[in-house]
Amino acid sequence: MNAASAPLVYLVDDEDVVRDALAWLLRSRRLLAQGCASAEAFEALLDALPAGVDWPRAPACLLLDVRMPGTSGLVLFERLVERGLTQRLPVIFLTGHGDVPMAVAAVKRGAFDFVEKPFAGNALVDRIEQALAASAQAIAARAEWRRVADALAELTERERAVLRLIVAGRPNKLIADALDISVRTVEVHRARIFDKMGVKSAVELANRLREHQAAPGSGAR
């Protein structure tokens, strides 16, 4: 497990003590943590990432304090939702007194969970581990989606037309009629599509495309 693939927990809290204590706790459970003193700092970190690359590569999650000077945790969360990161970077809110309704609303908007301060240490770490697992799953799904998208991008215009008809369940004969080409040509296209998409049957192809289309939101970046 190298540094790039090791799970990482981001801590965003304005209290140094809390960040330090949490990092200490996580280290005792063999988890790496990276702290940010404010939402702005974390966003700067995100903006520094190279464009066009899916991030995070390794499972990660974010412990986010609701009440902070400057940009609040909720605002940061909204920005993450906009970036489509909340699947691969599950967010766990740390809430103080009176912030619970806000946190509940955030969970409804897609946050992974919220934990009220003062929190019970190991229970929180258990929850973090679950979040990391979810993150890993989301990252894998994202990779798959990216692969299908790339394969689709590689198809020629004609192949894409054939693909649409295959997915619609038309036999080769009808496809040839519809596109006004020979059955033989259709078969060639079909073989090439299957090859490019890495599938062995029309059913497999249809499934893959359906999955791909079912998760369009995760591909914003």
Partner 1 sequence: MATVAAAAASARTRRLLPWALLLALLLVAQSMLVALSLHHEHARAQEEADAAAAEAAAALRAELLRSVQSLQSLLWNEPSAQAWRADAAELLRARRDLLRLERRDAALTPTLALDTPLGEPLFVALPRAQLMVDTEVACRAAQRSAAPHFSRSYFVPMQGGLGIEVIDLCLPIAGEGRDRYMVATLALAGVLERALGPAALRHEYSLVEGDGTRLARTGAQRGAGVFRGEQLIALPGTLLQLRADAVEGRPRLIPNLTLALVVGLSVALFALVLLLARDVRRRARAETALAEALAFRKAMEDSLSTGLRARDLAGRITYVNPAFCQMVGFGADELRAAAQPPYWPPEHAAQYARRQQARLDSLREDGPAREGFETVFMRKSGERFPVMIYEAPLVDGGGRHTGWMSAVLDMGAQRRVEELSRQQQERLQIAARLAAVGEMASLLGHELNQPLSAIASYAHGSLNLLEQPDAQTPALLGEALARIAEQAERAGRVIKSVHDYVRRREQAHEPVRADLLLEAVQPLVQLQARKSGTRIELRCPQPPPRVRCDRTMVEQVLLNLTRNAIQAMEHDTPPERRLLQISVLPPQQRRVGFVVADAGAGIADEVRQQLFTPFFTTRSEGMGLGLSLCRSVVEQHGGTLVLETLSAADGGGTTVRFTLPHADGGEPAAPAAPADAATLADAAAPATRRG
Binding site for partner 1 (CB under 8 A): 15, 17-18, 20-22, 24-25, 27-29, 67, 94, 96-98, 117-122, 125
CB of 62 to partner 1, least distance (A): 17
Using alpha carbons only, what angle is made at residue 177 by residues 173 and 183, rounded to the nearest 5 degrees? 45
Contact predicate 8/72, CB 8 Å: no
Contact predicate 93/106, CB 8 Å: yes
Nearer to partner 1, 121 or 219 (CB): 121
> Residue 167, Cβ neighbours under 10 Å: how many?
14
Contact predicate 114/106, CB 8 Å: yes
Nearer to partner 1, 92 or 166 (CB): 92
Nearer to partner 1, 20 or 144 (CB): 20
Task: Report the Cα 192 to chain-centroid distance in Å.
Answer: 30
3 state DSSP class of 50: coil
Contact predicate 75/43, CB 8 Å: no
CB of 142 to partner 1, least distance (A): 32
Nearer to partner 1, 14 or 54 (CB): 14
Is the alpha carbon torsion for 201, 203, 206, 208 positive or negative? negative
DSSP string, 190-214: HHHHHHHHT-SSHHHHHHHHHHHHH
Nearer to partner 1, 41 or 120 (CB): 120
Nearer to partner 1, 105 or 120 (CB): 120
CB of 120 to partner 1, least distance (A): 6
CB of 152 to partner 1, least distance (A): 47
Nearest to 132 by CA among 31, 15, 204: 31
CB of 79 to partner 1, least distance (A): 24
CB of 130 to partner 1, least distance (A): 17
